[in-house]
């Protein structure tokens, strides 16, 4: 299949796929129907075509476009092979309910209830009921993972991990090593802050589990600082100060309408890049609204500002850490005391208190993802058998609370997406320090800073964050030291 034809067909396939995922996630459709989309494009992911793309990558090792196209072909070849399992898992959870307070509530809505339940005993009970639904799909998750591993070897890669490393240009153990100092260096401050927060929430330290941390991180005491009414106007005002008026970005579409089946997890759906990019959020109140909207706006601004003339491979495919970097950058505004005082009119003392809380939230996530990367390398190297205990132990060691071992596959994204998050967190600190150095502490009020970001966005996903660190902000490469220093700055 010629490159042009393959790229054109691949783009239309992604448009159809993302539109389907958008409609289900936005609550416009009750079930996820991936099979018809894959069936219409079966030849696109036929094994000979996929092998051709892998061969082209190996023939021209310096071509980013060839590597991105190979990554796309392989990823969807594997996803096509497991699509029925993917649908079974997703649709089972879309249709499942959990009995709670003599009512049947949608499985998808459990988390929104759990993070608001003040009684830790009831939280533990609700999480147990939630897991009892989730675990029913674990046999399908095991089968799905094993199939992915078999397909990777069938394509000539020595393992699933080796496949991802070659397609992404990664060295996963090296990424893990870069983040390794984070756990020991933040151990004392993490335990101190976690203990204080659990004590304030009246959770016995020895009984604490992940549902308690979810409740603590919900931080309802800060809700009054984040009123629902001004959410969208403040978002619009922040973007305007950087010269990012929504009217100047016709491809960016906000979806804030409440629908019963709408995902409680905010997301960005880049359906046609850059002409049709959805920013979807289902508000549940307080800080979560602001963090979620601004995080996903980083993705949406990025995708909706990509140069439309770029080839498909650089508009849709490539290093996901690039877009995650911008998501973390904008999410960070909602935790910046200066932004909180200037835009939300939060008293400085409250803004600084919330900033300290947000630092703990970030520390929790980074310790969790650092442990998750270690676990996922082990999982993909050894296979799923017996990994429930490894998942429990590795994460419990990092997070100091009881970890439900049943989530050992539910808490895993395809293709080591965890590594993309970690690399994005590292680069975001480096990029933000660059913005502060060149445009001042209030860089988010600078049209010049907005212009600099638009220039970065226009290149799409062509260059990795490692390359951007070197070529755009003058760093030697990714360096986690700045991130660790920030997490220690209380």
Q: What is the pLDDT of residue 258?
A: 85
Helices (H), 307-416: 312-315, 320-331, 337-344, 348-382, 387-399
Task: Record the pTM.
Answer: 0.91
Q: What is the pLDDT of residue 265?
A: 76
Query: For the residues 266-294, what does the mean pLDDT come to?
Result: 89
Query: For the residues 411-415, what does the mean pLDDT come to?
Result: 96
Tell me the pLDDT tens digit for each residue of 198-230: 999 999 999 999 999 999 998 888 989 998 888
User: Helix, strand, or coil here: 269?
Assistant: strand
Q: What is the pLDDT of residue 284?
A: 67
CB atoms within 10 A of CB 27: 18
| C-alpha to C-alpha distance for 169 and 166, rounded to whole angstroms | 5
Q: pLDDT at residue 1 above 80?
A: no
| Domains of the chain in sequence order | 3-169 (no CATH), 179-488 (1.10.1370.30)
Query: For the residues 153-175, what does the mean pLDDT come to?
Result: 96
Q: pLDDT at residue 353 above 60?
A: yes
Q: What is the pLDDT of residue 264?
A: 73
Average per-residue pLDDT for the chain:
94
Tell me the pLDDT tens digit for each residue of 103-146: 999 998 999 899 999 999 999 999 999 999 999 999 999 999 99
Q: Which residue has the higher pLDDT, 29 or 2?
A: 29
Tell me the pLDDT tens digit for each residue of 83-96: 899 989 999 998 99
Q: pLDDT at residue 2 above 60?
A: no
Bridge partners (DSSP) of residue 402 are 209
Q: Which two tokens stand for residue 32?
A: 């996820």
Q: What is the pLDDT of residue 3?
A: 55
Residue 425's nearest CA partner among 390, 465, 475, 472 is: 465
- The answer to whether 87 touches 34, Cβ cutoff 8 Å, is yes
Specify the residue for token string 């929790």. 364
| Res. 4 pLDDT band, cuts 50 70 90 | low
Q: pLDDT at residue 174 above 80?
A: yes
């Amino acid at each position: 299949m010629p490159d042009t034809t393959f790229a054109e067909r691949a783009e239309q396939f992604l448009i159809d796929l993302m539109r389907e995922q958008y409609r289900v996630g936005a609550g416009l459709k009750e079930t996820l129907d991936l099979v018809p989309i894959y069936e219409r494009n079966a030849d696109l992911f036929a094994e000979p075509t996929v092998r051709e793309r892998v061969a082209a990558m190996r023939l021209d090792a310096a071509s980013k476009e060839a590597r991105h196209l190979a990554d796309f072909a392989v990823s969807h070849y594997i996803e096509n092979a497991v699509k029925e399992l993917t649908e079974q898992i997703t649709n089972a959870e879309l249709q499942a309910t959990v009995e709670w307070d003599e009512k049947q509530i949608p499985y998808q809505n459990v988390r929104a209830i759990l993070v608001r339940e003040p009684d830790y005993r009831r939280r533990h009970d609700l999480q147990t009921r939630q897991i009892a639904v989730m675990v029913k799909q674990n046999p399908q998750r095991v089968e799905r993972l094993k199939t992915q591993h078999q397909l990777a070897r069938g394509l000539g890669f020595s393992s699933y991990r080796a496949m991802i490393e070659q397609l992404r240009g990664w060295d996963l153990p090296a990424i893990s090593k870069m983040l390794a100092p984070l756990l020991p260096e933040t151990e004392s401050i993490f335990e101190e802050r976690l203990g204080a927060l659990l004590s304030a929430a009246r959770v016995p330290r020895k009984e604490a589990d992940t549902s308690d941390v979810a409740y603590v991180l919900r931080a309802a005491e800060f809700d009054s600082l984040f009123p629902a009414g001004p959410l969208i106007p403040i978002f619009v005002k922040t973007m305007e100060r950087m010269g990012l008026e929504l009217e100047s970005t016709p491809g960016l579409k906000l979806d804030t309408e409440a629908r019963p089946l709408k995902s409680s997890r905010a997301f960005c759906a880049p359906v046609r890049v850059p002409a049709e990019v959805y920013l979807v959020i289902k508000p549940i109140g307080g800080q979560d609204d602001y963090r979620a909207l601004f995080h996903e706006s980083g993705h949406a601004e990025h995708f909706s500002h990509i140069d439309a003339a770029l080839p498909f491979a650089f508009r849709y495919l490539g290093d996901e850490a690039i877009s995650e970097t911008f998501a973390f950058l904008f999410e960070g505004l909602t935790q910046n005391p200066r932004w909180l005082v200037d835009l939300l009119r939060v008293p400085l003392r409250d803004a600084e208190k919330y900033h300290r809380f947000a630092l703990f939230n970030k520390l929790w996530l980074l310790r969790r993802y650092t442990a998750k990367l270690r676990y996922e390398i082990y999982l993909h190297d050894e296979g799923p058998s017996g990994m429930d205990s490894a998942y429990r132990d590795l994460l419990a060691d990092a997070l100091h609370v009881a970890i439900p071992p049943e989530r050992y596959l539910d808490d895993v994204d395809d293709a080591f997406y965890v590594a993309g998050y970690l690399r994005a967190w590292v680069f975001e600190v480096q990029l933000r320090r660059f913005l502060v150095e060149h445009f001042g502490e209030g860089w988010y009020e600078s049209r010049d800073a907005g212009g600099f970001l638009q220039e970065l966005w226009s290149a799409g996903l062509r260059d990795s964050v490692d390359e951007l660190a070197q070529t755009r902000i003058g760093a030697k490469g990714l360096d986690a030291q700045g991130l660790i220093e920030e997490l220690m700055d209380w």
